[in-house]
Structure 1
Amino acid sequence: MTNGSEDEVDRLVAAWRQERPDLDVEPLEVLSRVSRLAKHLDRARRAAFAEVGLEPWEFDVLTALRRSGKPYELSPGTLLKATLVTSGTMTNRIDRLAQADLVRRRPDPEDRRGVLVSLTEEGRKRVDAAFADLLRRERELLAGLGEQDQRVLAGLLRTLLTPFDS
């Protein structure tokens, strides 16, 4: 407790230390907070997406296309690698996004059997609005930390996550 205030994790850790003094519960100090923060982030994400009528999975596919730069199109294979879903799941998602006029399919000029998925103007507008709202909400979640603390935390989290992303 560096700032003099107690949070729910402090109470949880204290209870475990009392009940199980034989165990080192130190990992809870970090990981329970990360878990609780992830829940708050998930709520913020869902609220930002709902504002423009998107589901989290729709946002994931649309942002992969948007990040790719003009002409905002990728192959289904590239999309499934970016979103970590199976081929069948990606096909279903592309179908649903196409029905909602958020993406469009077109033949791949480089591969006669392939297709490219491109972001429609409506898809770009909705994902841009959701992303801007999400960033606003994320800034609110981080408001208790200064810029330097945010950079330090980002570096520490990167160190923890890198082995899992390999």
Structure 2
Amino acid sequence: MPQKHDRTPSDDRDMADHVVEQWRAERPDLDPSPFLVIGRMHRVANALTAELVSIYAEFGLGEGEFDVLATLRRQGSDFALTPSDLSEQTVVTSGAVTKRVDRLVARGYVERRPSGTDGRSRLVALTPAGRKLIDRAFTAHMANEARLLEALSPTERAGLERGLRVLAQSLGV
């Protein structure tokens, strides 16, 4: 039985190929081939987001809430972050962090603690319930990500990792 990564040229065509063919016919003066990468990445990113969000929802979490819990959890046990640190690490505004943290506090998954060094500052930390939830959710998330990459051979996956790293660095992300 063929593996998912075994392909023949006849079954490889997709919407990006069709779009590029159309542009080549309509605008032979331009090279539309970047769309073969950018267009596919955009479509894949949208599809991946839907697949990832569905797992978060199984745990009653939105994407932003999952991100905050995961960011806190990967810091280590009993570690807390300032809202500014959370904003920097989750790459969202401080207002978005505040809303996410408020929702998680209301649900008992995180708590705000006074800072030991600055009486005006607060730290955000996981509660035991938050830690338990993110450990379960992250386990499911990793299994989901592995499932989503099953179509790639190990060689294809390694090449994609390298290429995306180079592209991300060139874009400063």
TM-score for both structures, normalised by structure 1: 0.91
* Aligned with residue 106 of structure 1, among 102, 108, 113: 113
1:164 maps to which residue? 171
1:69 aligns with 2:76: yes
* 1:21 to partner: Cα distance: 1.6
**Residue correspondence of structure 1 range 1-166 to structure 2 within 5 A:** 3-4=8-9, 5-165=12-172
State the 4+ residue runs in structure 1 displaced beyond 6 angstroms: none
CA distance in 2, matches of 1:21, 1:9: 17
Q: Which deviates more, 96-105 or 122-131?
A: 122-131
Which deviates more, 115-124 or 86-95?
86-95
Deviation string, structure 1 residues 70-101 (Cα, Å, up to 9, x no partner): 11421111111111222222222211210111
Cα offset for 1:141? 2.1
Q: Does the aligned pair in 2 maintain the 1:74–1:118 contact within 8 Å?
A: yes
Q: How many residues align?
A: 165
Query: Take 1:113 and 1:3, find their aligned partners in 2: how far apart are those partners?
Result: 63
Q: Which amino acid aligns with 2:140?
A: D
Between 1:86-95 and 1:19-28, the stretch displaced more is 86-95
Structure 1 spans left out of the alignment, 5+ residues:
none
Structure 1 residue 132 displacement after superposition:
2.0
SS in structure 2 opposite 1:154? helix
Rounded Cα–Cα distance in structure 2 between residues aligned with 1:47 and 1:6:
28
Tell me by how many angstroms 1:165 deviates.
3.0
Q: What displacement does 1:150 show?
A: 0.8
Q: Residue 148 of structure 1: CA displacement? A: 2.2
What is the identity percentage for the equivalent residue pairs of Structure 1 and Structure 2? 41
Taking the aligned partners of 1:53 and 1:93, their CA distance within structure 2 comes to 13
- Deviation, structure 1 residue 36: 1.0
Structure 2: tracts of 5 or more residues without a match:
1-6
Question: Residues 12-67 of structure 1, C-alpha deviation per residue, up to 9 Å, x if partnerless?
Answer: 21122122222100101111111111011101111110110000010111111011
Letter in 1 for 2:69: L
User: What amino acid does structure 2 have at the position aligned with 1:70?
Assistant: S
CA distance in structure 2 between the aligned counterparts of 1:37 and 1:3, rounded to whole angstroms: 21
CA contact (8 A) 1:44 1:134 kept: no
Per-residue CA distance 1:83-120 (angstroms, 9 max, x = gap): 12222222222112101111011111122221111111
